[in-house]
Amino acid sequence: GDEDTLLFVFMAHLFVENNDDNIGFHDIDDIFDDNEIPSWVKREFRTRESELFEKELIENVNEDGMARSDAFKLTDKAKEELLCELNINEVGKSVNGLIKAETLAEKNLIYNTSECNQITELSSILSENRFNEVQNRLRSVGMRPGFCCIFYGAPGTGKTETVYQLARQTGRDIMRVDVDKIKSCWVGESEKNIKALFDRYRNICKNSKLAPILLFNEADAVLGVRMEGAAKAVDKMENSIQNIILQEMETLEGIMIATTNLTTNLDKAFERRFLYKIRFDKPSVESRAKIWQTMLPDLSEHDAQTLASQFDLSGGEIENIARKHSVNAILKGNDSIDVQEIINSCRHERLSQNNCPKIGF
């Protein structure tokens, strides 16, 4: 029915825009006017009676071999058949565990001046010819040829997306590491996982014309200050993982970029090993106005300036509000910009942010 079609379009939108393969009922809330999901939607999704399951367009998220009844994703069939027909590029298509550079969609990111200059310089250094030159110079003076960078700062400031855009610009694939997935409940397994990961990265570098980027995403858990005299098994494991990463950074031949929301608690041993450190601050008023106009092109310059001045939001938060507005516009069949409605969304975003801290993308 129409409702199923709308739900699928919305879930496809979340996948294409966010690479979101873990969609919960709280995400689906956004498409209903009163922010209350009708009970029939929850029932049909929980019992798998929805047409979307019958047509193999969506499936439950699988965690440790168990299907979750409250989290859903598009099936591979839906991604391959329907999204290809719509000519929508899958964001970051993975082949053999590597996110291929040519599948990364171009995204216009807006930075503050200091970040912009550093990222432009980094993009130039990571280009094929320049990077070979930099590595040769480092070797000639007896320095480590590995190139380690850290992007740190507030959630929603575009750290991870910047890595994707750098990869796209320089033609480098990405080997993405989500630290939480590496940690195993079996003591000793996490250390093996980390060592195996660096071994695999080394082999890929040897067999690739261009070294891929090793991305440690949201690496707060392993970049924080190490525990002195750690007694608990979990603390010992984290210290052990940190020591392995520190050793591997010493012998790294390729490119490692870590992203973290930590701004003050970074371990000094890690800080020394990162050649490039780029701090991502919340956007300035001028940058916020540009982000508003990029996200909502029909917004007048005056309204964009008003929103930017009144609300100190990150780029991720502005994008979230713009998305909600776009979905509501589709539902109401009205493309006109209601600035007061956007202001209300900004106030709501700020309240929810204060009540429940968000993790950055």
Within 10 Å of residue 61's Cβ, how many Cβ atoms? Answer: 16
Phi, psi of 187 (to 5 degrees): -60, 135
| Neighbouring residues of 276: CB distance < 8 A, sequence distance ≥ 6 | 118, 122, 147, 148, 149, 150
Phi, psi of 198 (to 5 degrees): -70, -35
Which class is 2-90 in CATH? Answer: mainly alpha
Within 10 Å of residue 51's Cβ, how many Cβ atoms? Answer: 15
Rounded-to-integer distance, Cα 130 and Cα 338, Å:
48
> Residue-wise pLDDT tens for the chain (361 aa)?
678 888 888 888 788 766 678 888 888 876 776 556 778 888 899 999 999 999 899 999 887 667 888 889 998 888 877 765 444 444 456 666 789 999 998 888 999 998 999 999 999 999 998 999 988 998 899 888 889 999 999 888 999 999 999 999 999 999 998 877 776 666 678 888 889 999 999 999 999 889 999 999 888 878 877 666 655 666 777 888 889 999 999 999 999 999 998 777 788 888 888 989 999 999 999 999 999 999 999 899 999 999 999 999 999 899 888 888 877 777 667 777 888 889 988 887 766 555 444 333 3
Q: What is the location of CATH 3.40.50.300 in the chain?
A: 113-280
Rounded-to-integer distance, Cα 239 and Cα 328, Å:
47
Q: What is the location of CATH 1.10.8 in the chain?
A: 285-355
Query: What is each CA distance from 159 to 216, 232, 309, in whole angstroms?
Result: 11, 32, 23
Which class is 113-280 in CATH? Answer: alpha beta
Query: What is each CA distance from 234 to 152, 181, 227, 241, in whole angstroms?
Result: 25, 15, 11, 11
Rounded-to-integer distance, Cα 13 and Cα 31, Å:
12
Asked if residue 349 lies in contact with residue 313, where contact means CB atoms within 8 angstroms, the answer is yes
Q: What is the location of CATH 1.10.10 in the chain?
A: 2-90
Q: Does domain 285-355 have CATH number 2.20.25?
A: no
Rounded-to-integer distance, Cα 243 and Cα 312, Å:
38
Asked if residue 155 lies in contact with residue 314, where contact means CB atoms within 8 angstroms, the answer is yes
DSSP structure class, residue 357? P
Rounded-to-integer distance, Cα 316 and Cα 156, Å:
4
